[in-house]
Amino acid sequence: MAINLLPMATQSLLWQVIRNDAAKTDEERQELLNSGELGFGKIFTDHMVDICWSERGGWHRPRVQPYGPIALDPAAAVLHYAQEVFEGLKAYRHADGSIWTFRPEQNAARMQRSARRLALPELPTEYFLESIKQLIAVDGAWVPTAPETSLYLRPFMFAKEAFLGVRPAAKVNYYVIASPAGAYFTGGVAPVSIWLSTTYTRAGHGGMGSAKTGGNYAASLVAQQEAYENGCAQVLFLDAQEGKYLEELGGMNVVLVTRDKRLITPDSDSILEGITLDSVLRLARDRGYTVEQRPVTIDEWRQGVDSGDIIEAFACGTAAVITPISEIKSAEFGIWMPEIDASDRVALSLRDELTGIQYGRIEDRHGWLTRLDA
Ligand SMILES: *Cc1c(COP(=O)(O)O)cnc(C)c1O
């Protein structure tokens, strides 16, 4: 096997492909894909990507190999100090059978920013894109065809070095796994209730809130549990310093819509910069909306709904795209969004436009799509 030891961004890597002898047959795969119960993140394709990094050798030994367990030394740094980052994007099947993904260079750039914050090595953008293409080359048949379904791609990277001292690891691996995902909403996009956590925060100023790292999710779980206990689907966090500015949900960004065609979304250095958010704001600007990215207090939201100024609120992220918010509940108060017809919701019409572009039904006027199977 040829190994390329140069970590230079311009150097192309030589890939090794090891086929899975126990790969699902066409019938087995079709049965899984057509079961109507794909859900999210429950079943995985036959292969995965694995690239090594070491302090001395840089990125090397890129390969596609059978999907399966990763052998880890019990002293592997990630298990103790959580030095880890990840990404999430989707592969979409178009009507002509071709396979596409959405703004993957943005995911690559964000993974580099996340890696920097976690003192991990930065994977060059072309390796990131190549890793996804290599996986699709062997597992492309796993991209489902039913409406609103996709193949969710999960690139991730973690500290593999066996060492209990506290410092950035000198050995890291990057992987990509893939999981066919069902339509997030079956039978229409239903507005959800959101729990406002006044006890917990997910990230603070100077912390790692803007990095896509498992630690932020670990910090959100107990609040998410509280949300479930209060009959809510998701949790909304406020800023850690004053507890009055909106941040985001556990894994989605939040947007308010005003009667006079403004979209308001919080700005803070502890929010994860969503690619769905950025794309939705772009589409809204194209429609003549004004976008305000600035600190927003929970009081502004409450008063805006009371005065009739704020008419919609939604959450957005790759997994569910856009989810309208029907109410905010907290230990002390609630905010009830006005009831409006689905056909009048800007959130849903933006959702239709965005998914229309992703699935190739609407012209890709911003050049957001990248073909994966050619
Ligand atoms: C991934 C993520 C989002 C959404 O980002 P997208 O690029 O739109 O998927 C929002 N918040 C957090 C905390 C996330 O991890």
Determine the Cα–Cα distance for residues 141 and 107; give it in Å rounded to an integer. Answer: 23
Domain co-membership, 341 together with 197? yes
Rg of the Cα atoms in the chain: 21
Q: 147, 181, 215: which is the final residue of a domain?
A: 181
Residues 116 and 207 in one domain: no
Question: DSSP assignment of 327-374, as one string?
Answer: EEE-SS-EEEPPP--GGG-HHHHHHHHHHHHHTTSS--TT--EEES--
103 lines ligand 1 (CB under 6 A): no
Q: Rounded to whole angstroms, how far apart are CA atoms 352 and 99? A: 19
Backbone phi and psi for residue 239, each to the nearest 5 degrees, phi listed first: -65, 150
Tell me: the pLDDT tens digits for 260-295?
999 999 999 999 999 999 999 999 999 999 999 999
Q: Could you give the CA distance from residue 30 to residue 345 in angstroms, rounded to a whole number?
A: 36
pLDDT tens sequence across 217-261 = 999 999 999 999 999 999 999 999 999 999 999 999 999 999 999
Task: Say if residue 161 is in the same domain as residue 204.
Answer: no
Within-domain flag for 111: yes
pLDDT of residue 1 exceeding 50, the answer is no
Range of the structural domain that residue 250 is part of: 192-358
| 300 found inside a domain | yes
Domain contains 370: no
pLDDT reported for residue 186: 66
Mean pLDDT of 69-97: 98
354 and 276 inside one domain: yes
* H-only helix segments in the chain: 26-33, 77-81, 104-117, 125-139, 214-229, 275-286, 298-307, 346-358
- Binned at pLDDT 50, 70 and 90, residue 113 comes out as very high
Tell me the mean pLDDT in the region 323-338: 96
Ligand 1 closest atom vs CA 106: 7
Q: Is 275 in the pocket of ligand 1 (CB under 6 A)?
A: yes
Pair (200, 250) in one structural domain: yes
Q: Does one domain contain both 254 and 348?
A: yes
212 and 80 belong to one structural domain: no
| Same domain, residue pair 220 and 314 | yes
Tell me the percentage of the chain whose pLDDT exceeds 90.
Answer: 91
Residue 5, pLDDT score: 46
Which tokens in the block code for residue 44?
């995985």
Last-in-domain residue among 146, 181, 216: 181
Say if 176 falls within a structural domain. yes
From the alpha carbon of 279, which atom of ligand 1 is closest?
A: 8
Packing angle of the helix pair 125-139, 104-117 (nearest 10 deg): 120
Residue 373 maps to a domain = no
Judged against a pLDDT cut of 60, whether residue 6 lies above it is answered with no
SS3 59: strand
- What CATH code is carried by the domain that includes residue 143? 3.30.470.10
Res. 363: pLDDT tops 70? yes
Phi–psi pair at 79, nearest 5 degrees: -70, -20
- pLDDT value for 268: 96
Task: Please say whether the beta carbons of 257 and 304 come within 8 A.
Answer: no
Sign of the torsion formed by the C-alpha atoms of 62, 68, 74 and 79: positive
Residues in the chain: 374
31 belongs to a structural domain: yes
Whether residue 3 lies inside any domain: the answer is no
Residues 137 and 230 in one domain: no
CA of 263 to the centre of ligand 1 (A): 18
How many angstroms is it from 242 CA to the middle of ligand 1?
A: 23
Instruction: Output the pLDDT for position 13.
Output: 77
Contact yes or no for 366/282 (Cβ under 8 A) = yes
Residue pair 339/300 in contact (Cβ under 8 Å)? The answer is no
Question: Averaged over 131-138, what is the pLDDT?
Answer: 98
Q: What's the CATH code of the domain at 332?
A: 3.20.10.10
Residue 115: both structure tokens together = 């890696």
* pLDDT value at 335 more than 60: yes
Q: Does 223 share its domain with 351?
A: yes
Quote the pLDDT of residue 11.
56
Q: Number of folded domains in the chain?
A: 2
Q: What is the pLDDT of residue 143?
A: 98
DSSP 145: -
Q: Domain boundary at 162, 181, 200, which?
A: 181
| Residue to probe by mutation, ligand 1, list 212, 254, 358, most atoms within 8 Å of CB | 212
pTM of the model: 0.95
Q: What is the pLDDT of residues 149-201, one digit of tens each?
A: 999 999 999 999 999 999 999 999 999 999 999 987 766 788 999 999 999 99
**160 and 205 assigned to the same domain:** no
Residue 374's pLDDT is: 85
CA atoms within 13 A on the CB side of 343: 0
Residue of 194, 278, 318 best suited for mutating to test ligand 1, as the one with most atoms within 8 Å of CB: 318
For ligand 1, atom 14, the nearest C-alpha belongs to 251
pLDDT of 353: 98
pLDDT at residue 148 greater than cutoff 80: yes
Whether residue 349 is found in the same domain as residue 291: yes
Angstrom distances, CA of residue 304 to CA of 87, 135, 189, 238, 355: 34, 47, 24, 18, 29
| Residue to mutate (ligand 1; options 208, 217, 253; most atoms within 8 A of CB) | 253
* pLDDT(35) > 90: no
Q: State how far the Cα of 203 lies from the Cα of 102, in Å rounded to an integer.
A: 27
Ligand 1 pocket check for 99: Cβ under 6 Å? no
Is there a domain that residue 10 lies in?
no
Average pLDDT, the chain: 95
Helix/strand/coil (H/E/C) assignment for every residue in 281-316: HHHHHHCCCEEEECCCEHHHHHHHHHHCCEEEEEEE
